[in-house]
Amino acid sequence: MEIKEFKNVTFVEGGVCAAKGFKANGVHCGISRKALAEKPEDPTMQANLPAEGKKKHDLAMIYAEKPCTAAAMYTTNKVQGAPIAVTKENLKNGMAQAVIVNSVNANTCNADGLEKAEKMCEAAAEALGLSMSDIIVASTGVIGQPLPIEPILAGIPTLAEGLSHEGNTAAVEAIMTTDTCPKEVAVQFTVGGKTCTLGGMLKGSGMIHPNMATTLTFLTTDCAIAAGFLQQALREVVNITLNRVSVDGDTSTNDMVCVMANGMAENAVITSENEDYECFKDALYAVLMNLARMMARDGEGATKLVECFCTGAYDDKTAEIIAKSVITSSLFKAAVFGEDANWGRILCAVGYAPADFDIHRVDVSFASAKGKLDVCKNGAGLDFSEDFAKEVLSEEEIQVLISVGDGTGSAIAWGCDLTYDYVRINGDYRS
């Protein structure tokens, strides 16, 4: 899908390996029930197979050549995966140097979950010559099934040996679950006369709702920034990107977004909310906003990306509440799938949004590459061509434009359509 361009940043290749001093890798170690039922494989042999003989990667590692300041945000679900507890403890000092992450199994709601998350950190630390507390650990996949730790421990040495500055592609494959495509973005920007790079990779397709939208997101940068300001920037940007995405209204147990900054760009360390800090935030927004759009477009079974723009609200928070209400409406999402300009479902979702505004001042339009269609003015319907409406809604990217008055508040939220395939995918997810 098309990358949204931004001023003052240049998009580059490389994902989490784009910034100086970062390596990554991904391998197939065989965590799934099917893989475990088969004869266990030597991860070294799997790594040496030709491309056509390889199985999907399920274990990834990111490594920084220098210690990094680090920050993270986590799911707001009261049920949280064991890796989150371990990572929170490890990041108390605001430092990290590596990430170890598996797909297939979430390591959540398991009596031995903490023990196994710690073992993953210990094994990664040993392979990299680091301390256990230097490791960020994450898992994604099925909830409530014991994590097979043996194949992970067997795969980590091969994973570490294969780390490279071109390993982002293998790493991003390893974190995918129901994702149909890899999601990675990287940008270059200037801070204090120094060229800095920030890149990231994300997994997320289903069980996604704005409360740290269901995702594992890993970000790396060579920009030098103090841990406190790194955490502040991450929180501010996540709230207007990842927290504005919904696919199905379900908030996961394993959400995590983390960022490591190694300072190898050699800019003056960012220690205040100055111009350099704003430049860093702009770069972070460019990466996370594009990753958020990719996640919404790749929602489970989705055929369309929906961007909802709300303007004219009393403040930005009001606009955000309204935009989120629309993109989470199952009825509206189904109408988008059917390419039906049923604007009444939008007004319904606007109407039950817990926010203050005058419903008699609400205007609604649809827009896409095929043009713009006004369907509602001052809370009442407008005459429009159903044929043109079908044409506008036939595109893969649909915009819903909502005005609720003449206030200064505005917000964007991202979602997707609701299709038959969403039910099919989630009807047999565990298998």
pLDDT at 293: 87
User: How many beta carbons lie within 10 A of that of residue 18, not counting itself?
Assistant: 25
Q: How many domains does the chain have?
A: 2
pLDDT at 52: 42
pLDDT at 253: 72
50 — pLDDT class (breaks 50, 70, 90): very low
- Mean pLDDT over the full length of the chain: 89
Per the structure, the complete domain to which residue 199 belongs is given by 10-297
pLDDT above 80 for 33: no
Positions annotated as catalytic residues are 214
Query: 196 with 322, same domain?
Result: no
Query: 217 with 265, same domain?
Result: yes
Query: 240 with 262, same domain?
Result: yes
- Which ranges constitute the DSSP H helices of 298-430? 316-327, 330-337, 343-351, 386-393, 420-427
Q: Would you say how long the chain is, in residues? A: 431
Query: 229 with 320, same domain?
Result: no
% of residues, the chain, pLDDT over 90: 71
Of 310, 419, 413, which is closest to residue 364 (Cα–Cα)? 310
Domain contains 265: yes
* Crossing angle (nearest 10°) for helices 330-337 and 343-351: 160
79 — pLDDT class (breaks 50, 70, 90): confident
Q: Return d(Cα 100, Cα 120) in angstroms, integer.
A: 7
Domain contains 2: no
At which of 297, 321, 349 does a domain end? 297
Query: 53 with 85, same domain?
Result: yes
Domain contains 1: no
pLDDT at 428: 62
Domain contains 5: no
pLDDT at 295: 83
CATH of the domain at 340: 3.10.20.340
186 — pLDDT class (breaks 50, 70, 90): very high
Q: Which residue has the tokens 């999402």?
A: 333
Q: Return d(Cα 180, Cα 173) in angstroms, integer.
A: 10
- Which ranges constitute the DSSP H helices of 80-139? 82-90, 113-128
Domain contains 288: yes
Query: What DSSP state is assigned to residue 111?
Result: T
pLDDT above 70 for 411: yes
Query: 325 with 359, same domain?
Result: yes
Domain contains 111: yes
pLDDT at 426: 65
Average pLDDT over residues 364-392: 97
CATH of the domain at 231: 3.60.70.12
pTM of the model: 0.87
Domain contains 254: yes
338 — pLDDT class (breaks 50, 70, 90): very high
Of 146, 135, 120, which is closest to residue 89 (Cα–Cα)? 135
Query: 99 with 68, same domain?
Result: yes
Query: 288 with 379, same domain?
Result: no
- 26-30, 358-362, 414-418: segment of lowest average pLDDT: 414-418
pLDDT at 166: 97
pLDDT at 49: 44
Query: 288 with 323, same domain?
Result: no
Domain contains 3: no
The answer to whether 107 and 82 are in contact (CB under 8 A) is: yes
Query: 370 with 284, same domain?
Result: no
pLDDT at 131: 98
Query: 250 with 332, same domain?
Result: no
At which of 275, 297, 319 does a domain end? 297
Query: 310 with 288, same domain?
Result: no
At which of 297, 330, 345 does a domain end? 297
